[in-house]
């Protein structure tokens, strides 16, 4: 019985994340608008954009092939799988079973699908965006895995559920310098992965500065909807992971319905809080030149390496 229950919770978790993602984007836009003195639109605006785009017909360039049409569903599939298996609401059963290295790999698979689609369009912008995205993804990988190393060294396993449970068990283990450094490194890596301000400006119109946007210039209609939705989900996933790995309180550790609902509530609050902090941070920072980004990532890599060394020296 609990097997079926676990699968159901995983599905529910994926659905929750899918519904929550556009709201998270809405919150970031609203907070940002408010700080810039603008009267921002309602938080539900991204939902309206998605609904309208879903109704519009997709177009694909004449020379593109299967890679162009398959990229949006692949990007969404990778986001759904990570949403279903990572511990956001509960750490029990399927929902908490994902391994951090697998999560990093699956997210990278989504990025690769998009970069190949960028190249398949045959346009200069598509190639440029894809080349830059791959360069940044290649440099983010060491940071992600080293911060994983720092976290797993403390707990002894890279299983997400185990890490979150360990954080739940003794809260003060979360505040050791090792995990704080790991949090900083992972935060910078998140900004790079989800193409936020210091690395890439999501709301730019000047194609030459784009990284993520340049690859999806050719998409329209429901393809574009899927990509926007999946990118929003990736942001929510990474913010959720940041929240649960470093502030694991309130996550359900048993399968009882009450706990799960409470876990969901806590999760939503944490993610929206983090999104607001992210948006506020973005107002104060300008986009870095592309060849300054490796320095940023080298810095975060150094943080992650310090985290690992600290976890040995102190732990």
Partner 1 sequence: MTDPTATALVTALVSAASGATAGLSLPASWRARVVGTLLFLSGVAGLLAGLAALSGHDWQTDLPDLLPLAGIKLAVDGLSGWFLLLIGAVTATVGVYTIGYAGRDGHGPGSRTAMFTLPLFTASMLLVPAAASVPTFLLCWELMAVTSLLLVMTEHRRHEQVRPASVWYAAMTQAGFVTVLIGLVWLASIAGLDFTAIRTTTPGVSPAVKGGVFLLCLFGFASKAGAVPLHPWLPRAHAEAPSHVSALMSAAMVKLGVYGLLRVGFDLLGGGTGWWWLTVAALGALSALYGIVQAVVATDLKRLLAFSTSENIGLVLLGVGFAGMFASSGQPAVAALALAAALLHTINHAGFKTLLFLGAGSVVNATGTRDLDQLGGLSKRMAATTALFAAGALAAAALPPGNGFVSEWLLLQSLLHPGGHTGTVLALGAPVAVAIIALTAGVGVATYVKAVGTGFLARPRSSAAAGAHESPLSMIAAMAMAALACAALAIVPALSVPAITQVAASLRLQAPPMGTNLVSLHLTGITATFWPLWLTVGLVVAVGALAVAGRTVGKARRRAIAWDCGDGPLTARMEYTATSYAEPLQRIFDDTLAPERDLDVTHEEESAYHIDAIRYRQRIPDRIENRLYRPLIVAIARLGEAARRLAPGVMHRYLAYMLTALIVVLVAGVIR
Partner 2 sequence: MARVGLFGKILKTGRVAEPAVPADETVPKAAGLGGSVQVRHVDAGSCNGCEIEIGQAFSPVYDAERHGVRLVASPRHADVLTVTGPVTVNMAGPLRKTFDAMPEPRLVVAVGDCARNCGVFAGGHGVHGSVAEVVPVDVHIPGCPPEPAQIVATLRGLSGR
Of 129, 131, 136, nearest to 293 by C-alpha is: 136
Q: Return d(Cα 117, Cα 130) in angstroms, integer.
A: 8
Q: Look up residue 212 and give its two tokens.
A: 């993520």
Q: Look up residue 86 and give its two tokens.
A: 């990572």
197 within 8 A of 99, measured Cβ to Cβ = no
Of 253, 249, 262, 227, nearest to 77 by C-alpha is: 227
Which distant-in-sequence residues (6+ apart) come within 8 Å of 152 by Cβ?
Answer: 100, 158, 163
Q: Which does 19 bind (CB under 5 to 8 A by kind): partner 2, partner 1, none?
A: none
Q: Which of 159, 190, 201, 236 binds partner 1 (CB under 8 A)?
A: 159
Q: Which does 173 bind (CB under 5 to 8 A by kind): partner 2, partner 1, none?
A: none
- How many other β-carbons are positioned within 10 Å of the β-carbon of residue 103? 22
Site string for partner 2, 260-299 (x = CB under 8 A): -----------------------xx---------------
Q: Return d(Cα 244, Cα 119) in angstroms, integer.
A: 36
Q: Residue 21 or 86: which CB sits closer to partner 2? A: 21
Q: How far is the CB of 224 from partner 2 (least distance, A)?
A: 6
Q: How far is the CB of 221 from partner 2 (least distance, A)?
A: 5
- How many other β-carbons are positioned within 10 Å of the β-carbon of residue 259? 17
Q: Which residue has the tokens 């759904």?
A: 80
Number of residues that bind partner 1 (CB under 8 A): 83
Q: Look up residue 278 and give its two tokens.
A: 């992210």
Q: Which of 30, 78, 231, 236 binds partner 1 (CB under 8 A)?
A: 78
Q: Which does 66 bind (CB under 5 to 8 A by kind): partner 2, partner 1, none?
A: partner 1
The residues with which 90 forms a beta bridge, in sequence order, are: 252
The answer to whether residue 238 forms part of the interface with partner 1 (CB under 8 A) is: no
Q: How far is the CB of 28 from partner 1 (least distance, A)?
A: 25
Q: How far is the CB of 111 from partner 1 (least distance, A)?
A: 8
Q: Which of 13, 30, 91, 158 binds partner 1 (CB under 8 A)?
A: 158
9 within 8 A of 95, measured Cβ to Cβ = yes
Residue list 91-120, contact with partner 2 (CB under 8 A): none
Residue list 8-67, contact with partner 2 (CB under 8 A): 33-42, 45, 48-49, 51-53, 55-59
Which distant-in-sequence residues (6+ apart) come within 8 Å of 52 by Cβ?
Answer: none
The answer to whether residue 124 forms part of the interface with partner 2 (CB under 8 A) is: no
- How many other β-carbons are positioned within 10 Å of the β-carbon of residue 131? 16
Residue list 204-223, contact with partner 2 (CB under 8 A): 204-207, 210, 213, 217-221
The answer to whether residue 288 forms part of the interface with partner 1 (CB under 8 A) is: no
Q: Residue 63 or 261: which CB sits closer to partner 2? A: 63
257 within 8 A of 12, measured Cβ to Cβ = no
Q: Which residue has the tokens 């574009």?
A: 224
Q: Which of 130, 190, 231, 236 binds partner 1 (CB under 8 A)?
A: 130
Q: Which does 286 bind (CB under 5 to 8 A by kind): partner 2, partner 1, none?
A: none
Binding site for partner 2 (CB under 8 A): 33-42, 45, 48-49, 51-53, 55-59, 204-207, 210, 213, 217-221, 224, 283-284
């Amino acid at each position: 019985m609990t097997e079926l229950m676990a699968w159901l919770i995983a599905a529910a978790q994926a659905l929750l994340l899918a519904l929550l993602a556009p709201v998270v984007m809405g919150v970031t836009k609203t907070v940002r608008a408010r700080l810039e003195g603008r009267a921002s639109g309602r938080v539900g605006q991204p939902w309206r954009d998605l609904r309208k785009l879903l109704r519009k017909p997709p177009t694909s360039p004449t020379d593109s092939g299967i890679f162009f049409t398959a990229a949006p569903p692949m990007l969404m599939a990778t986001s759904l799988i990570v949403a279903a298996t990572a511990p956001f609401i509960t750490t029990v059963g399927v929902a908490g079973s994902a391994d951090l290295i697998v999560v990093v790999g699956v997210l990278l698979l989504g990025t690769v699908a998009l970069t190949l689609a960028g190249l398949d369009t045959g346009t200069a912008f598509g190639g440029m965006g894809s080349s830059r995205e791959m360069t940044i993804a290649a440099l983010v990988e060491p940071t992600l895995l080293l911060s994983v190393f720092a976290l797993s060294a403390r707990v002894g396993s890279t299983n997400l559920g185990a890490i979150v449970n360990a954080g739940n068990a003794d809260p003060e283990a979360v505040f050791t310098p090792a995990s704080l450094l790991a949090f900083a490194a992972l935060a910078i890596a998140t900004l790079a992965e989800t193409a936020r301000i210091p690395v890439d400006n999501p709301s730019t119109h000047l194609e030459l500065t784009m990284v993520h946007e340049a690859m999806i210039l050719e998409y329209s209609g429901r393809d574009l909807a899927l990509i926007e939705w999946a990118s929003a989900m990736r942001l929510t996933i990474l913010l959720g992971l940041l929240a649960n790995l470093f502030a694991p309180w309130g996550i359900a550790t048993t399968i009882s319905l009450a706990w799960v609902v409470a876990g969901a509530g806590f999760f939503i609050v944490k993610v929206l809080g983090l999104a607001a902090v992210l948006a506020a941070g973005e107002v104060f920072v300008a986009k870095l030149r592309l060849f300054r980004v490796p320095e940023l990532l080298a810095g975060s890599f150094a943080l992650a390496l310090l985290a690992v060394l600290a976890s040995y020296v102190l732990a």
